[in-house]
């Protein structure tokens, strides 16, 4: 199945979730359910999260300027970080509300709640699928995917709890299911938050093994050694690499740089490669803190 382009996914995701918010408020007012109105406010944060991710995706395509020589690529990392924080706050709010409801259980209108939650599964599930392919190689898209998948999971929990409630009358079941779903989502969100913070701190993207990069360079023909190897993320999709290389010869230097650069791009998906060539034996400075 062909996956929608990011712009289309964001556009449709925001539209569908906005319509769902209107439906939740309408049903909530109609049946006098504060819970549905409150969930509509939570879903508003989803729309804001999608909007932030979409805006960052647009910023990454702007051309570099004299002041921002890499453009605005780093905005996608910030968007992923914001979405992770949004998710943590949203799941925390769900857990707090669920604990309060456990202390004072209240009867719910199971049929109406199941209907609205079922609609939420369709809307959030469909939106999540739009981002499924892109989330595997873009942390910003992954943030949007997790946000939608989390809400679909919460809605599924509500449907299950609502159905069992209609059969048993167990008022405590809905908050318990909400807590379990929120805890499961927190596990995935923590990984997103950790990855986003690492990229913001210019850490090596987890998909790249620094030792393998180091080994490839050292094993390359005419290379005597390398040092000052740095790898960091410019955005959630673009990686930069700089390295100093000692060569045994200065023959065909331009060809050497082109071929090694292409190999680094092909093997490790590095978008920007900068190689500085030195000649002769290299003795690392004792004060250097970089092990590579």
* Local confidence pLDDT in tens for the 292 residues of the chain: 444 556 788 888 889 888 888 887 887 677 655 556 666 766 777 788 888 888 888 888 888 888 888 888 889 888 888 888 887 887 788 788 788 878 877 666 667 777 888 888 898 888 888 888 776 678 888 888 887 888 788 778 778 777 887 787 777 777 787 788 778 778 778 888 888 899 899 899 988 999 999 999 999 998 988 999 999 999 888 899 999 999 888 788 889 999 999 999 999 989 899 999 987 654 444 344 565 6
| CB hemisphere CA count around 13 (13 angstroms) | 36
Fold of 210-279: Alpha-Beta Plaits (3.30.70)
Fold of 6-200: Alpha-lytic protease prodomain-like (1.20.1510)
Domain layout of the chain by residue ranges? 6-200, 210-279
What is the CA angle 142-147-148, rounded to 5?
A: 100
d(CA 228, CA 232): 13
Q: What pTM was computed for the model?
A: 0.74
pLDDT in tens, 229-267: 999 999 888 899 999 999 888 788 889 999 999 999 999
């Amino acid at each position: 199945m062909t996956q929608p382009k990011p712009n289309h996914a964001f556009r449709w995701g925001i539209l569908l979730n906005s319509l769902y918010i209107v439906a939740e408020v309408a049903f909530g007012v109609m049946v006098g359910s504060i819970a549905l109105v409150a969930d509509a406010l939570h879903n508003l944060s989803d729309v804001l999260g999608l909007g932030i991710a979409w805006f960052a995706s647009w910023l990454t395509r702007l051309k570099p300027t004299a002041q921002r020589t890499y453009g605005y690529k780093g905005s996608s990392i910030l968007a992923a970080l914001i979405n992770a924080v949004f998710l943590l706050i949203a799941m925390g709010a769900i857990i707090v509300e669920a604990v309060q409801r456990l202390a004072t259980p209240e009867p719910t209108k199971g049929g109406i709640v199941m209907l609205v939650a079922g609609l939420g599964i369709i809307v959030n599930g469909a939106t999540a699928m739009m981002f499924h392919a892109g989330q595997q190689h873009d942390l910003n898209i992954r943030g949007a995917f997790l946000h939608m998948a989390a809400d679909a999971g919460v809605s599924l929990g509500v449907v299950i709890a609502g159905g069992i409630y209609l059969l048993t009358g167990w008022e405590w079941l809905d908050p318990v299911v909400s807590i379990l779903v929120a805890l499961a989502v927190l596990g995935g969100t923590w990984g997103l938050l950790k990855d986003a913070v690492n990229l913001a701190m210019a850490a090596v993207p987890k998909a790249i093994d620094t030792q393998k990069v180091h080994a490839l360079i050292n094993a390359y023909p005419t290379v005597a050694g390398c040092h000052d190897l740095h790898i960091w993320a410019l955005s959630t999709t673009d990686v930069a690499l700089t390295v100093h290389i000692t060569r045994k010869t200065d023959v065909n230097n331009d060809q050497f740089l082109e071929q090694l650069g292409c190999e680094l791009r092909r093997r490790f998906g590095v978008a920007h490669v900068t190689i500085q060539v030195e000649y002769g034996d290299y003795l690392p400075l004792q004060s250097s803190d970089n092990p590579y």
